[in-house]
Amino acid sequence: MIYKTQVAIIGAGPAGLLLSRMLFNAGIESIILENRNEAYLRQRLRAGVQEEGTVAAFVEAGVGDKLIKEGMEHHGIRFHFAGEQHHIDVKGLTGGKVVTVYGQRNITCDMIDWAHKDNIKIIYEAKAQRLEGLTTDAPIVHFSLNGSLHELHCEYVAGCDGYHGISRPSIPKQLRREYVHEFEHSWYGILAEAPPSFEEVVYAHHPNGFALQSMRSPELSRMYIQCPNGTDPEDWEEEALWDELDLRLGFKNNRGKIVDKSVASMRSFVCDNMQHGKLFIAGDAAHIVPPTGAKGMNLAVSDIKVLAKGLINHYTEKDDTVLSAYSKICLSRIWKVERFSWWVTTSFHTLENQSEFDTKMQEATLGYLCSSDIGAASFAENYVGLPIYWDAK
């Protein structure tokens, strides 16, 4: 079967769903191909700290009603290190900017609901197999569905299909370079039916390793501890895990039933070319950050804001200035966000053979942030989200 549309979008995560919504609002047709089924997308747990610009993008796209109603604004962040807790006034240091906690699963469900309401076409369990004609005016996405092969004919392809998708490998090897850093530790994460002990996120540096207290709602806590790569989620007894969280975070956590537990590896990754002909890649297809800085979805949304503007300008004004500069505009922000995420990770996590000097350097770095308005403001500026550098050269 042959399908036709203006923009083919591969992947129905937040990036693909937001792009389809922004294009729909501008009268531009799209079809989303999603490898998973709808139930999987609605149940998949992901991070939930949204930058101010991310919240604004969802609201401006018309899918942010629940986010505004149910999201939890955070005006600051807490650091625990060297046996003491410190508070950084993010809102005060950034002229009133805040972050909002609203789960990625929640915003994904909201956008799927709106897509159904407005008949935006999402083809589930459609596996993209091959991209053809990317340097022509008539690209084709070949995909399988229900055991049969199909074609999606389009004018542009948006690759929002993640690190393991086909979009990035469809950019010829000689036209891209990939940068990777694998961290020697992972995160053991739990979701617990317990009210968060603090209403703001708490980052902890401890000799045993990093720990974090976050939340998904006033009744659900999201907790993490640093663990060795290869850790099995069943390696920890629940009481021992809670005891370790109390130790590393420096306070007694509210405890409750653990409803989800998982281990996530950590890496930094950047592809230095995000476009080839009529193909544009975004989100995890182009870059990955360790979760420490809470930047994964935020960085994807930033890509989509640039890509949507470029496509809308092309169709409504016959102006390809933004599309032509898509990689440069996105990468100028991506590398700064990668730096922030890498820096926060290396400042809070302890290595297996870490020296006492290294530990003192970490404590000194964190101490500077908490005692200097300039240092704290630098952290806060990155935490609430850097701007898009539209004039990137």
| Cβ(322)–Cβ(308) below 8 Å | no
Find the catalytic residue in 102, 156, 326, 383: 383
Find the catalytic residue in 102, 205, 291, 314: 291
Find the catalytic residue in 278, 295, 314, 349: 295
Q: Specify whether 124 is catalytic.
A: no
Widest pairwise Cα distance in the chain? 64
Q: Specify whether 291 is catalytic.
A: yes
| Cβ(71)–Cβ(100) below 8 Å | yes
**Rounded to whole angstroms, how far apart are CA atoms 338 and 328?**
15
Find the catalytic residue in 102, 203, 315, 326: 203
Nearest CA to 63 out of 12, 121, 115 is that of 115
Find the catalytic residue in 14, 74, 276, 278: 74
Expressed in angstroms, the distance from the first to the final Cα of the chain is 43
Query: What are the DSSP calls for 60-105, one per residue?
Result: HTT--HHHHHH-EEE--EEEEETTEEEEE-HHHHTTS--EEE--HH
Coil, strand or helix at 198: coil
**Rounded to whole angstroms, how far apart are CA atoms 321 and 150?**
33
Q: Specify whether 156 is catalytic.
A: no
Coil, strand or helix at 36: coil
State the catalytic residues. 74, 203, 291, 295, 383
